[in-house]
Amino acid sequence: MFCESSKELAHFVSEARAFTNQGKVADYIPALGKANPHDLSIAIKYPDGRYVSAGDVKKKFTLQSISKVISLALVLSDHGPDYVFDKVGMEPTGDPFNSIAKLENMVPAKPLNPMINAGALVVTHMIEGKSVDARFQRLLAFIHDLTNDYTIDYCEQTAQSEYETADLNRALSYFLKQHGQIDEPVEHLIQLYTKQCAIEMNCLQLARIAMVFAQDGKDHETGKQIISKDIARICKTFMVTCGMYNASGEFAIKIGIPAKSGVSGGIMGAVPGKFGIGIFGPALDDKGNSIAGLKLLELLSKNYSLSMF
């Protein structure tokens, strides 16, 4: 049996919160630097509609890299795996998320996987639509389906803050463009990508998306199959192999659930066949994962034997 009461969950949150002192909020995107490092909240969403939660679960945060799983699911649905994996690989990398190093050694310049920035930029490039705005609205509509919440939008201030400072992502994009992996103006791609990363929600909404992935792409509450079972499987596999940056191996051993984190401090965890988890804890460790969020997942995984391995 998993955690059924919010009181039980609150106990784990207070234990994990102590670790926030050892982390730091990301500030390379200036808007993220304003977060309170001591925040920690979690929501668990069961397929029957129940939530168990602890902490300030209504607080909004931006998805950042968590959005990479969602854009991947969208382009896989639109184009199919053969098309997508012709342009982006399936292999984990031990490098930081924004590294350009491996890209130079690949011929053709094919990013190793869709969870690092180079791969995510190629994936975002594949979102269809006549304009940047139309493509963004398409992604947002997909998120509205996943959350069954049509109020979700992006944080303009965070998007702008990243847009003004995204020179590393510009460098990756120019490199990819020179090698024929993208064929649109780099500024358009950066506009779309920074808006994508700035999509904003709370832990409850994130847990609902995670629940859809956990339940093989089906939202049992509405009865809708939002993502095909195969695409949900591909996304969860990437979450296991590359979802937690260059700490994915350690995470698989210690915690063992498909998960994706972002530099805002969010973590989306999909426990296969069971439930979805949304976590927000902006103090990060040196790999870019929420330091208290990791501790919290470790406590939950140990106490309730959540590892899939």
Catalytic residue set: 65, 68, 193, 245, 263
Question: Are the C-beta atoms of residues 235 and 73 closer than 8 Å to each other?
Answer: yes
Q: Applying CB under 6 A, does 197 fall inside the site for ligand GLU?
A: yes
Burial 143-181 (b: 16+ CB within 10 A, else e): bebbbeeeebebbeebbebbbeebeebeebbebbbeeeb
Looking at the Cβ atoms of 162 and 219, the one nearer to ligand GLU is 162
Q: 218 forms bridges with which residues in the sheet? A: 225
Q: Applying CB under 6 A, does 117 fall inside the site for ligand GLU?
A: yes
Least distance between ligand GLU and beta carbon 53 (Å) = 23
State which of positions 269-288 bind ligand GLU (CB under 6 A).
288
Q: How far apart are CA 46 and CA 53, in angstroms?
A: 11
Q: Applying CB under 6 A, does 160 fall inside the site for ligand GLU?
A: no
Strands (E), 3-81: 41-45, 51-54, 61-62
Question: Are the C-beta atoms of residues 277 and 304 closer than 8 Å to each other?
Answer: no
Q: Applying CB under 6 A, does 61 fall inside the site for ligand GLU?
A: no
Q: Residue from 23, 53, 159, 162 that binds ligand GLU (CB under 6 A)?
A: 162
Q: Which two tokens stand for residue 58?
A: 């209504």
Least distance between ligand GLU and beta carbon 198 (Å) = 8
Q: Measuring CA to CA, which residue among 29, 64, 65, 34 is closest to residue 165?
A: 29
Q: Applying CB under 6 A, does 240 fall inside the site for ligand GLU?
A: no
Q: Applying CB under 6 A, does 98 fall inside the site for ligand GLU?
A: yes
Q: Applying CB under 6 A, does 65 fall inside the site for ligand GLU?
A: yes
Q: Residue from 103, 186, 263, 267 that binds ligand GLU (CB under 6 A)?
A: 263
Residues that bind ligand GLU (CB under 6 A): 64-65, 97-98, 117, 162, 169, 197, 262-263, 288
